[in-house]
Structure 1
Amino acid sequence: MRLPVPERIPPAEELGRVHFVGIGGAGLSGIARIMARRGVPVTGSDDNDTPFLAQLRELGVTCHLGYDAAHVGDADTVVVTTAAREDNPEVLEARRRGLTLLPRSAGLKAAMAGHRVLSVAGTHGKTTTTSLLTMALLHAGADPSYAVGGVLTGTGRNADLGEGGVFVAEADESDGAFLVYDTHGAIVLNVEADHLDIWGTPQAYVAAFEQFADGVDPDGFLVCGVDDPGGAALAERQRARGHRVVTVGVDRPGDLRAVDLRAADGGTTFAVERDGDLIGEVALRIPGRHYVIDALAALAAGLELGQAFAGLAAGLAEFVGTGRRMEPKGGAGGVRVYDSYAHHPTEISGDIEAARSLAGDARVVVCFQPHLVSRTRIFAPEMGKALGAADEVVVLDVYVAREESDPEVSGALVADAVPLPQERVHYVPQRSDALGVLLDIVRPGDVVLTLGAGDVTALAPELVARLEERGDG
C-alpha cells in the first residue's frame, strides 16, 4: 500500500497516540521503538511474532498478533507498512474514523524531529554503511539516534534513541522515502538502476537521486562513492552547483581513498589517504572490497561532523555486521555457511567476491533466489553472469513478493545465463527441494552462500542443522 506523504509532518510528540500497522517489520518496529522512547504512546499489530516485537514489549508497547479494527483503539495517528493490503481492517477503520494515516517515511521523519539527520542512500550498501556509521559515531562518543534496515549486531537492535543531536538513517529510494527527510548530511554510495517497477526508467531513477542530493541542507555535506560511475557523476554535478561534496574511492582517487588493502583474519585492513596524505589505518572484521567503500563513506561522514579519526576507526573495527549482510550462520564438517540479502547483480558480485576471500583455495557454492518478477525480467542475464564467479550454483524460482507471477519469467532465465559448465548449475524451482540438492553438492572446505531478499534465508540454518545431523559436525 502506498500512502501519500502529508505536506506537513509534525514531530512525534504532536501525533497523539500512534498505532503501527505492520509493527513487526524492520522499518516500522524501529520507528515505533524511537517514538516509544520519546514518550509517545505506541501500539501496533502484525501477522508475525517477529523478534522485534519482544524488544518493543520490553518498552511497554502493546503488540497485537493479527489485524483487527479493534486494535486501532483510541489512536490518533496510524503508520502503515508498504506491505499492507488495501483491505487491511485496521487501515479501513482508520479511514472510517478520519485518523491521520502516515506511510513509513513520514513516520520516520516525525521520529527524527529535532535532530541533524544523516541519510545513507545508494542502490547498494545502505544497511551496512548506516550500521558502520552508527558504530563509528557511538565509539567516537557522539551517541547518535539511528534507524537501520537490519539488526545492528553491536547493539542487538535495529533502531534506538541516543542522547546526541545526530540521527543516522537508512534512506530508502525504492518507494521515494529518501525524498521525504530533512537531511543535513548525506551519503550516496552508488547510483545504479533498480526498482524500475516503481520508477519506470533508469533516467527517472537517477533523477530521484539528483532530487535527493539537491535537498541536502545548504550548510551540510554530501559524501559520494566515485568507484561507481553513477556516484561519480552525481558528485560532479553537485559540486558544479556549489554544494559541499566529499568523494571516496578505492579504484578511483577521491578526497578520501583506501589504499594498501590487505585481507586478514576474515576481514580487511586498509590505509586511508586524505588529499594524498596518509591519515591512519582501518581494520574491518568483515570481508570484501565493497565493504571497504562502505566503511570509507562512513568515515568521511564522521570526519565531516568533526569527530576524530581514532574514535571513528575504533568503531569501524568493532563492527561485526548486520543481519543478512554476509551473516555467518555456522557450519559443520569444514563447511562454512553465510547468508546475505544480495538481490541485484552488483550486490551478488560483491558478496561472492567476499566469500571467495574467505574460501581461499576452496570452493564457493551459492544458492540464489531471484527477487521480484520485474527485477528478474530486466536483470536475469546480469544476475547469471555475476553468479558465474562461484564454483557451483543453485538457482531457485523467483520470489514474487508484491507483484503478480509471470509464467515467462522464472529462475530458469537466471540459471541459463550462468557461464559455468551445465553440471555445475542447478535450477531448483521449489525452495523445499534446495536443501537436498545442496547436501549432495557440498564437501569439506566449501563456503556456502545463500543469496536473495526472499525466504531463501531460511535455508542457511537448515543446511547447518542437516550437516550436523549427518555427522559432518
Structure 2
Amino acid sequence: MAAGLPTAMDRPHFIGIGGAGMSGIAKILAQRGAKVAGSDAKESATAEALRALGATVHIGHAAEHLADDATCVVVSSAIRADNPELARAAELGIPVVHRSDALASLMEGLRPLAVAGTHGKTTTTSMLAVSLSELGLVPSYAIGGDLDAPGSNALHGDGEIFVAEADESDRSFHKYAPEVAIVLNVELDHHANYASMDEIYESFETFAGRIVPGGTLVISADHAGARELTSRVSGGPRVVTYGEAEDADVRIVSIVPHGLKSEVTVLLDGEELTFTVSVPGRHYAGNAVAALAAGVALGVPAAELAAALGAYTGVKRRLQLKGEAAGVQVIDSYAHHPTEMTADLEAMRAGAAGRILVVFQPHLFSRTQELGREMGQALSLADASIVLDIYPAREDPIPGVTSELIVDAARAAGAEVKPVHDKADAPAVVAGMAGPGDLVLTMGAGDVTDLGPRILDRLQSK
C-alpha cells in the first residue's frame, strides 16, 4: 500500500536540506514525485544524493533560492528566525512547516512504528528498516543516520509499514500517531529545552499518549527512567516490556559476545529464541531485542524477524570501522552523552585486543555544562584520550564552559587525558600515541568524524 503526496507538499523547499532528518523527508517526497528544492550551508555527499533524485539543492542561504511557486517551506528547530529564505517565505505568504509535521504527513495512511528514547534511536530504527526489508515487507523509513551510503537514511517503500526515528529533543515527536512506539530509555538531555526530569517524563507521556487506540508501547524494563515512565502511562496503550529484568515480557536470557558480534537468547511467549546481532555490546543487543518486540507487535513472525535482524551490520557513525593502518583500527562513534559514551567504550573493550584510545569532541555548551563531569568519568574507561574543544552546533558560547571541564573530571577519575585545542593537530597526536593492536575511537556528534581518514593517513606514514 503506497501513500501519495501530502497536501501542499508537492513543491516543498527545505532550509537545511542536507541535515540528517531533513534530507530523509526530502528524499521520500522526491521518490513520491514531489518537485523538491532546498538549501544547505555546505556541499555534501547527501546533497549530491538528493540531486540524483531530481532535487534542486542550493549551497548557502539566500532569499533568491526560494522559488515563488513553492507550496511550503520546511524547517527544523535549528533554523534561526533571521534566515533570509524564511524571511522571503513570509513576504510571499508561503506556509512554513516544521520537519516533524512534514514527517507526520508522510506516515498518513500507513502503519507507523516510531522509535524514541534518549539513546539508541538511530540504531534501533536502522535495525528495523534493514530486517523488515530483508523479509520483503518493503517498509518506508526515515532514520537519523545513513545506513551504507550518503542519502541512505530514508526510503519510500511500497509496503504498509513506516519506521521513523522520533526525536524528543524539541518535543517534535508529539506530532506522530504511531501504531507501535518504542521507548528505549529516558534520561535528562537537551538542556536548552528541558529544565528537569519531570519535564522529560511529561514529554514522553505525551508521546505515549499519541499511540493510536489498540496500539502498543514497547519499553525497556532495565532502564530506571523507562520503568518510571511505564508506571506513569498505566491505563493507556498496551505495554510490552523488554530487557534483562526478571519481570520483562520479552526477557533477555543471555548475551554472549563473539568478537564484534553477539549471540542473544530471549524468552518470548514462553519459548526461547536465539539470534545473532552483528554489532558489539549489550547496548546494541538490547536495541535488537526492542526491534524484535516491536516487529512482533506489528504481526511479524518472531523467528523470521530474529533471523533477519542478523542482516543489520551497522549504521554510519555508530561504531563504524573507518579503516586500519600500521596495525591500528580506527572506528567512528556518534556517542556524545555519557551513557552512550560508556556503552560504546564497554562494547569496544569487549572486542579489543590492545589499548583503546579516544579522540573526544564535546557537543554543545549546554550539554557540557550539565554533563561534563560524567563525560570525563566515561573517558576513564579508555586507556588514553584526547579532548577537543566544544563543537557549538546551534549554540552560542556559555562563559566559563569549555572542554577543560571534561579534562579535569577525567583526570580526577584517574584517566590519562590530554586537551588538544586545534583539531588539525589531533591526527599527529593520536598517531604518536597508537601502536599495533590498538584501537582509536573518534567520538562525538560534531565534525570529529572528519578526523578518521586523516588519522589513518598519519598512521600509514609513520
Q: Report % sequence identity.
A: 47
Give 1:290's aligned amino acid: H
Q: Which runs of 5+ in 2 are unaligned?
A: none
Structure 2 match to 1:282: 275
Map 1:260-409 → 2, pairs under 5 A: 260-278=254-272, 280-360=273-353, 362-409=354-401
What residue identity is the alignment partner of 2:16?
A: G
Aligned positions of 1:48-447 closer than 5 A: 48-73=42-67, 74-153=69-148, 157-238=152-233, 240-278=234-272, 280-360=273-353, 362-418=354-410, 424-447=416-439
Give deviations 1:317-346, integer Å, cap 9, x for gaps: 011111111111111121111111111110
Cα 1:357–1:94 shift into 2, 3 Å: same
Contact persistence 2:126–2:315 (CA under 8 A): yes
CA contact (8 A) 1:194 1:202 kept: no
Q: Using the TM superposition, give the Cα deviation of residue 131 of structure 1 relative to its aligned residue in structure 2, in angstroms.
A: 0.3
Amino acid at match of 2:393: A
* Contact residue 24 and residue 46 of structure 1 kept, 8 A: yes
1:19 to 13, 16, 22: 13
User: Pairwise CA RMSD of aligned residues?
Assistant: 1.8
Aligned partners of 2:47, 2:150: CA distance in 1, in Å? 16
Shift of 1:267: 0.9
Shift of 1:252: 4.9
User: Could you tell me how far apart the structure 2 residues matched to 1:423 and 1:188 are?
Assistant: 33
**Please, which moves more after superposition, 153-162 or 388-397?**
153-162
The one-letter amino acid of 1:213's match is: A
The residue type paired with residue 182 of structure 2 is I
- Measured in 1, the distance between the counterparts of 2:388 and 2:87 equals 37
For 1:260, the aligned partner's letter is S
SS of alignment partner, residue 269 of structure 1: strand
Q: 8 Å contact 1:154–1:319 — kept in the other structure? A: no
Asked whether the equivalents of residues 411 and 429 of structure 1 are also in contact (C-alpha less than 8 Å), the reply is: no
CA distance in 2, matches of 1:108, 1:400: 27
1:3-23 per-position Cα deviation (integer Å, ceiling 9, x unaligned): xxxxxxx96244342111111
Shifted more, 441-450 versus 248-257: the winner is 248-257
Gaps of 5+ in 1: 1-9
Which stretches of structure 1, 4 residues or more, deviate above 4 A after TM superposition?
Answer: 419-423
Q: Tell me the alpha carbon deviations over residues 232-267 of structure 1, each in whole angstroms, 9 at most, x when there is no partner.
A: 2222332x2142011110255411122221111421
Shift of 1:89: 1.7
Give, as a single letter, the amino acid of the residue that structure 1 aligns with 2:173.
F
Deviation at 1:397, TM superposition (A): 1.8
Task: Give the counterpart letter for 1:452 in structure 2.
Answer: G
Alpha-carbon offset, residue 420 of structure 1? 7.0
Distance 1:242 1:26 in 2: 32
The aligned counterpart of 2:23 is 29
Match of 1:467 in 2: 459
Question: Which residue of 1 is the match for residue 449 of structure 2?
Answer: 457
Which deviates more from structure 2 when the two are superposed, residues 212-221 or residues 416-425?
416-425
Q: Which amino acid in 1 is paired with 2:410? A: V
Letter in 2 for 1:164: G
Give the 3 Å change call, closer, same or farther, for CA 433–406 of structure 1 in structure 2: farther
State the alpha-carbon separation in 2 of the partners of residues 13 and 427 from structure 1.
Answer: 51
Match of 2:333, as an amino acid?
S
- 1:120 Cα deviation after fit: 0.2
Work out whether residues 188 and 194 of structure 2, in 8 Å CA contact, stay in contact via their aligned partners in 1. no
Asked whether the equivalents of residues 332 and 441 of structure 2 are also in contact (C-alpha less than 8 Å), the reply is: yes
Query: 2:8·2:72 contact (CA, 8 Å) conserved in 1?
Result: no
SS at match of 2:410: coil
Q: What is the number of equivalent residue pairs in this alignment? A: 458
Alignment CA distance shift 1:115-1:452 (3 Å): same
Aligned partners of 2:54 and 2:333: how far apart in 1? 32
**In the aligned structure 2, how far is the partner of 1:103 from the partner of 1:423?**
43
